[in-house]
Amino acid sequence: MIDKLEINHLRTLNALYQFSNISVAAEHLSVSQQAISLQLKKLRIILGDQLFVRTGHGMIPTPYAKEIESHIQQILIQINSIPPAKTLSPQQIERTLVICATDYTQEVIVTDLIKELRQYAPKIKVIITNIEHANLTKKIHLGTIDLVFTTSAYVPEGLISTPLFTEKYLCVTANTAIKRTHDLSLEQLTKHDFVIVSPGIGSFIGSADTWFEQQGFPRQVTVSAPSFHMAKEILKYPDMVGFIPSRLLPYEGLFELPLEKYPPGYQVVAAHHPNAKNDLLISWLLDSIQKKFTN
């Protein structure tokens, strides 16, 4: 029957402990004497004890009521110490944050974010996972992923996305023989072999291939890498070219090839469950990231 106890029951008991008088307890709790009497009646059934008995000096607790008094008070102290959502500071939050991110956003966003969390929310533990698309929505709805950093094109339906910034691609190579006296045309560029990034699926078709075909110059992709880090290392071989997001450059051993035309950039977003709008930590993180990239 203990599981039927409610907070109001505990507050009624506490008031009776304090004042030993139903009318004074009722006044303290801003309820009627009848309400206190009804609560006490329910409590006697739930706990299987009279709890308080009338004497010429008011309501006196039974031996059992005296025994559980400290428990009642401890529970109420814990409940009353719960801070309102809007007043909780990052320093007070204790939880594990699970972030799912592309290799690009891991380097550009998450690394610095961990540094900030260590300073401003030191009780937070963080798990970082590589981006996945197959079960992403399911895991967010189950609460096993809190926040996703990806591009706007890959946000699953049903999630809320917050735009962070727009990224652009730059063409880089290690081939010093490519003439750079003027901006390279797409016709000249597509004579070279390309490295692309295709995380997870391992495809020779990259995000810019449709754009190249629309320009009338399909490119030849010879290496598909799972991450931008690996792509940058492969691009150190002087017979290849590739597109790398601008925020991952410069990179030792590579130099930029100015082009007449560039493939379109993309929007980087943070995605989360709709309920996370009321999550103080998520709101604080998004606000911090947005300030960083808008300054």
Neighbours of 194 (CB within 10 A): 24
Question: Cα–Cα–Cα angle for 77, 82, 85, nearest 5°?
Answer: 165
The string of pLDDT tens digits covering residues 64-82 is 999 999 999 999 988 887 7
CB 275 within 8 A of CB 283: no
Distance from C-alpha of 169 to C-alpha of 244, rounded to nearest angstrom: 5
Task: Pull the structure tokens for residue 130.
Answer: 């590589």
Domains of the chain: 2-82 (1.10.10.10), 90-165+268-294 (3.40.190.10), 169-264 (3.40.190.10)
Closest CA to 235 of 162, 173, 148: 173
The string of pLDDT tens digits covering residues 128-169 is 999 877 788 888 888 899 999 999 988 888 889 999 999 999
pTM: 0.69
User: Of 47-56, 88-97, 99-108, 123-132, where does mean pLDDT reach its minimum?
Assistant: 88-97
Distance from C-alpha of 97 to C-alpha of 53, rounded to nearest angstrom: 51
- Look up tokens 């900030």; give the residue: 116
Which are the contacts of 69, defined by CB distance < 8 A and separation ≥ 6? 17, 61
CB 209 within 8 A of CB 221: yes
